[in-house]
Amino acid sequence: MKQDKVILLSNDDSYRSKGFEAAIEIARRFGRVIAVAPETPQSGMSQAITIHNPLRLNKVREEEGLVVYSLNGTPVDCVKIALDYLFRDEKFDLMISGINHGSNAAVNVMYSGTMGAAIEASFYKIPSIGLSVTDHDPNADFEGAIKYGVKIVESLLNGDVPLPLCLNVNVPNIPCSEIRGIRLARQTRGFWREEFFERTDPHNRKYFWLTGGFENSEPTAQDSDEWALANGYVSVVPVQVDMTAYGQMEQLKGLL
Amino acid sequence: MKQDKVILLSNDDSYRSKGFEAAIEIARRFGRVIAVAPETPQSGMSQAITIHNPLRLNKVREEEGLVVYSLNGTPVDCVKIALDYLFRDEKFDLMISGINHGSNAAVNVMYSGTMGAAIEASFYKIPSIGLSVTDHDPNADFEGAIKYGVKIVESLLNGDVPLPLCLNVNVPNIPCSEIRGIRLARQTRGFWREEFFERTDPHNRKYFWLTGGFENSEPTAQDSDEWALANGYVSVVPVQVDMTAYGQMEQLKGLL
């Protein structure tokens, strides 16, 4: 493949994360890389945008074929300022968000800043990939995510892709050699239940840390992304944004 | 109707907003009201959760049949701490998020903190309503939203509702007497394009304000929520959270 593509990057772990470097490594194989990433970690920021605060932008790195900006905003802010301000006239071939430290499978797609940025890019008719490994460790192993990320990027850049396109790609936290391949899947049904850890500060005031666990409503569903991950596959879920519950329309017609 | 229900409230404009008082007014007609709302405005916070910061909770109001807590977190944090910590053993009949100052129709459902809270409550099998008026003014007129909000709450409390249920209800910014009724609708296709206003601070550093406008991809679609609002109806869109693009599966099978 000719290395003549233009790739937009963002993430939610900030431009200083190991996963972001891994995403740069993937993208550089295909051409020129333009990145706008958050100044500070923005995990769990979902599709959030910054309305009440001013945004500050800094160019933090520039070398042959790569430029990186940081923004004191959310992942979605980063994509918006890249596409509606900084690089309005650039023609991007692809957008990669990540590589995220932690799973964005199942309903995590809704809370994820990584996926927020990927979804946002798809609104600009740029094929986008949110790429994650199921390991929160700052020093997570990205070998499998790089290998399969490259494969997927290659397929999208060479193929006839439907637009808008946004892929939620998750890579299991196992040695790269043990990954069994790529599996197209649907979003697993389930939800989070939280546990709030209570602490007391030195001024004797209470505060809380939000923690929780995912409850999988269909652990045996072989077409689900959680099943794919649990069985050693890279899961790929195409994402769309029409949240209408069409299946409830008839019943609600009678009710309202 | 007996006033024996228990209603959970939250919003994204903070517990000090006029719209929040309007939501309390609706809810009190049906029974006991428990509210956990953000300490500060959280518009545009989507489904965001607070991972990296401690949460602080304060009881800010208590009177017969009403208690209000404030939390220094997102709308979703508020719902989670209400249902997984403060009131774990309470049986809620309904959740209302709002009343929001500003439209949450179309793709706004994805950016909206109001809808983030409503969607979150639906994960706990509580029928939920995100209620908004299409007017950002802090002093917006909530007469129509209260009238139609009461009607919808009544229908849900008396009816046989499917679960999970989350309704995205938007009320047009016209005099209450001119509202033509309630219209079930689907989420309008479209997206936002932004304009970044550049300013310079007294230290000669640039900063930006994010502003933008919604581009409606189907302005004449009579089954869309934007059409309903433009034609004087209260729009009601049932919301679900499976974001899988099932329609793209076949094409992607050949590609990946």
Rounded-to-10 torsion of CA B75, B78, B82, B86 = 180
Scanning chain B, the segments in alpha helix (DSSP H) are: 18-28, 75-81, 108-111, 113-122, 143-158, 225-230, 249-255
Residue A74: strand, helix, or coil: coil
In the DSSP assignment, the letter for residue B86 is: I
Contacts of B243 in chain A (CB under 8 A): 109-110, 187, 237, 239-241, 243
Among residues B106, B42, B29, the alpha carbon closest in space to that of B75 is found at B42
Q: Is B88 within 8 Å of chain A by CB?
A: no
Q: Is A246 within 8 Å of chain B by CB?
A: yes
Q: Is A221 within 8 Å of chain B by CB?
A: no
pLDDT in tens, A243-256: 999 999 999 999 99
**Which of A56, A152, A207 is opposite residue B256, by nearest beta carbon?**
A152
- Please answer whether residues B37 and B81 qualify as being in contact, where contact means their C-beta atoms are separated by less than 8 angstroms: no
Residue A130: strand, helix, or coil: strand
Q: Is A238 within 8 Å of chain B by CB?
A: yes
pLDDT at A2 over 80: no
- Please answer whether residues B235 and A252 qualify as being in contact, where contact means their C-beta atoms are separated by less than 8 angstroms: no
Return the residue matching tokens 């995403």: A23
What number of CA atoms fall less than 13 Å from residue A135's CA on the CB side? Answer: 17
Give the β-pairing of A190-200 and A206-216.
Answer: antiparallel
- Nearest CA distance, A141 vs chain B (angstrom): 22
pLDDT at A4 over 90: yes
pLDDT in tens, A7-33: 999 999 999 999 999 999 999 999 999
CATH architecture of the domain A5-187+220-255 equals 3-Layer(aba) Sandwich (3.40)
ipTM > 0.90, yes or no: yes
Rounded Cα distance between A16 and B139, Å, is: 43
Query: How high is the pLDDT of residue B2?
Result: 66
pLDDT in tens, A40-53: 999 999 999 999 99
Return the residue matching tokens 């220094």: B72
Average of per-residue pLDDT values in chain A: 97
**Contact between chains at B155 and A207 (C-beta distance less than 8 A):** no
Give the amino acid at A247: G
Query: How high is the pLDDT of residue B3?
Result: 82
- Please answer whether residues A20 and A14 qualify as being in contact, where contact means their C-beta atoms are separated by less than 8 angstroms: yes
- Please answer whether residues B163 and B127 qualify as being in contact, where contact means their C-beta atoms are separated by less than 8 angstroms: yes
**Contact between chains at A46 and B41 (C-beta distance less than 8 A):** no
pLDDT at A112 over 90: yes
Q: Which two tokens stand for residue A44?
A: 């769990």
Query: A with B: how many residue pairs have Cβ under 8 Å apart?
Result: 220
Q: Is A241 within 8 Å of chain B by CB?
A: yes
Q: A1 pLDDT band (50/70/90 cuts)? A: low
pLDDT in tens, B35-58: 999 999 999 999 999 999 999 999
pLDDT at A105 over 90: yes
**Contact between chains at A255 and B161 (C-beta distance less than 8 A):** yes
**Contact between chains at B210 and A51 (C-beta distance less than 8 A):** yes
What number of CA atoms fall less than 13 Å from residue A239's CA on the CB side? Answer: 33
Angle of helix A143-158 relative to helix A18-28, nearest 10 degrees, comes to: 40
How large a percentage of chain B has pLDDT more than 90? Answer: 99
Return the residue matching tokens 């301000």: A85
Strand partners, B43: none
In the DSSP assignment, the letter for residue A47 is: T
Query: How high is the pLDDT of residue A3?
Result: 81
* Cβ contacts of A239 within 8 Å, gap of 6 or more: A109, A115, A118, A119, A122, A130, A166, A167, A168, B243, B244, B245
Contacts of B113 in chain A (CB under 8 A): 48
Neighbours of B185 (CB within 10 A): 26
Domain boundaries, chain B: 5-187+220-255
User: What phi, psi does A93 have (nearest 5°)?
Assistant: -90, -25
pLDDT in tens, A189-209: 999 999 999 999 999 999 999
pTM above 0.90, yes or no: yes
Contacts of B148 in chain A (CB under 8 A): none
In the predicted model, residues of chain B with pLDDT beneath 70 are 1-2
- Measured over the CA atoms of residue A79, residue A44, residue B11 and residue A73, the dihedral's sign is negative
Interface test with A, best of B81, B88, B110, B246 (most A CBs within 10 A): B110
Q: Is A203 within 8 Å of chain B by CB?
A: no
pLDDT at A117 over 70: yes
**Which of B49, B57, B189 is opposite residue A111, by nearest beta carbon?**
B49
